Amino acid sequence: MGAREFSIETQDLTRVFRVKRREARGQTREVVALDRATLAVERGELFGVLGPNGAGKTTLIKILATLLSPTAGTARVAGVDVVENPWEVRRHIGMVSGGESSGYGLLTVEENLWMFSQFYGMRSGEAKKRIRELLEVVGLADRAKTKIYHLSTGMRQKMNFARGFLTDPEVLFLDEPTIGLDVQTARTLRTFTRGWIDDHPDRTILLTTHYMYEADELCDRVAIIDQGRVLACDAPAALKRGLQGEAVFRLTVDGDRDLGPLLGRVDGVQRFAHAARDGHTELDLILADENALVPVLTAIQGAGARLLSLEKREPTLEDVFLRLVGRSLTEVSEGGGEPPR
């Protein structure tokens, strides 16, 4: 292969929203949703954008899908500038947003999908064949003739997932595609997504998620994003390798305790996050090395807390996020936590 081909390129992409101030009528404040984001996604990649809710992931997808104008910077999809030629961009892309129940309720599942295929100029017979295949994948084959107002939100989400793949787009944007889905379905969709990109090396997927596990399992490369800024971008293994010199521990102590100020004073504690779980306090620690554990345990004991469990872990993307941001991903993602695996 010669020069690298980028399906998606952004350069200093910035988006600022003006939001009305509640406290002062007529005044606005600026919210930076995307802050000079620079990314380059190669053709054939399944590229993840990992970040908590409100990090700017959906804003990024909306700009790339020509739904939102950037305030500054440039973005190209399939080699086409999204601002200068949005019409052309739309011929190359597909988009699925998770966690929503869009669709025409009076149409059947099959009709909804068929109608969409027609906007892309697919032959009707080819579209129907593809619809049958995709409905098998998402487990909706027996619902093909059901009007979608009879479907649950999860089923509609599955239908919309199928819609994203229906036209075999050159670049596919998946915005939190498994959010709110049951364990089995989420697993099936992830497997299908990975298989599709492996089978279609000339296609590209950009997937946003706040599920660390999903990004780790699926993506060739991951950009970690917070408050609109791209903090790191590499293969999941490479990102985790960056923490190899450090020691990652998970501790559980009794009671709901705020040990933050205490741990902040202990030498060797690089980053920590704590969360209340089932009446106990769970601590994720990134230490300079294993030697720093002893003073940590001493400090905890000194605070009157009882150690319930101690686990040395391999670094995860969650730890990478903690290292970069100083907060855990699940801590800042409302309703976050791990996905149904």
Partner 1 sequence: MGEARMGHGERVTARPSRLAESWRSLKVAAWLGWQIESNWTDPFLFAVYSVVKPVAGALILVFMYLVVARGGLANPLFPYIFVGNAFYIYVNGVLLGVSWAVIDDREHYGMLKYLYAAPLNICTYLVGRGVAQTAIATVATAITLLFGVGALGIKIPPGGVDWGLLAGALVLGLAALAFLGLLLGGATLLTARHNYFVGQGVAGALYLLSGVVFPLDVLPQGLRWVGKSLPVTYWLEAVRRALLGDGGNEALRALPTGTVVLILALSTVVLAVASVLFFRWAERIAHRRGLLDMQTMH
Question: Which of these, 72, 93, 94, lies nearest to 83 by C-alpha position?
Answer: 72
Choice from 27, 28, 118, 301 touching partner 1 (CB under 8 A): 118
Any contact of residue 120 with partner 1 (CB under 8 A)? yes
Q: Does 125 bind partner 1 (CB under 8 A)?
A: no
Nearest-approach distance from CB 41 to partner 1, in angstroms: 15
- Please give the Cα distance from 74 to 39 (Å, whole number): 11
Order of all β-strands in the sheet with 280-287: 269-277, 280-287, 247-254, 307-313
Q: Provide, rounded to whole angstroms, the least separation between the CB of residue 165 and partner 1.
A: 14
Q: Smallest distance, Å, CB 333 to partner 1? A: 21
Give residue for tokens 């086409």: 80
| 124 binds partner 1 per the rule CB under 8 A | no
Question: Cβ of residue 100: shortest distance to partner 1, in angstroms?
Answer: 6
Each residue 228-247 as x (binds partner 1 by CB under 8 A) or -, in order, gives: --------------------
Sign of the dihedral defined by the CA atoms of residues 234, 238, 239, 245, in that order: negative
Angle formed at CA 241 by CA 204 and CA 314, multiple of 5 degrees: 105
Smallest distance from the beta carbon of 64 to partner 1, in angstroms?
Answer: 10
Binding-site member from 163, 190, 221, 271 for partner 1 (CB under 8 A)? 163
Q: Which is nearer to partner 1, 112 or 185 (CB)?
A: 112
* Closest CB to partner 1 among residues 116, 211: 116
Residue 304: CB partners within 8 Å, gap ≥ 6? Answer: none
List the strands of the sheet with 229-234, edge to edge: 93-97, 171-175, 204-209, 46-50, 221-226, 229-234
Backbone angles phi, psi at 125, to 5 degrees: -65, -45
Cβ proximity to partner 1: between 126 and 290 the closer is 126
Options 68, 219, 263, 322; binder of partner 1; rule CB under 8 A: 68
Cβ of residue 326: shortest distance to partner 1, in angstroms? 29
Among positions 7-66, residues that touch partner 1 (CB under 8 A) are 17, 43-44, 62, 65-66
| Closer residue to partner 1 (CB): 7 or 328 | 7
- Stretch of 88-96, 130-138, 243-251, 326-334 contacting partner 1, by CB under 8 A: 88-96
- Spatial distance between the Cα atoms of 78 and 92, rounded to a whole number of angstroms: 7
Of 200, 141, 125, nearest to 165 (Cα)?
200
Handedness of CA 298, 300, 302, 305 (dihedral sign): negative
Least distance (Å) between residue 106 CB and partner 1: 4
- Is 202 a residue that touches partner 1 (CB under 8 A)? yes
Decide: is 74 part of the binding site for partner 1 (CB under 8 A).
no
The 95-114 site mask, x for binding partner 1 (CB under 8 A), equals x-x--xxxxxxxx---x---
From the CB of 4, what's the least distance to partner 1, in Å?
11
In the numeric block, the tokens 């999903």 are attached to 214
Tally of CB atoms within 10 A around 27:
10
- Show the site string, 291-330: x = touches partner 1 by CB under 8 A, - = not: ----------------------------------------
Residues that bind partner 1 (CB under 8 A): 1-2, 5, 17, 43-44, 62, 65-69, 87, 90-91, 93-95, 97, 100-107, 111, 115-116, 118-122, 147, 163, 167-168, 170, 201-202
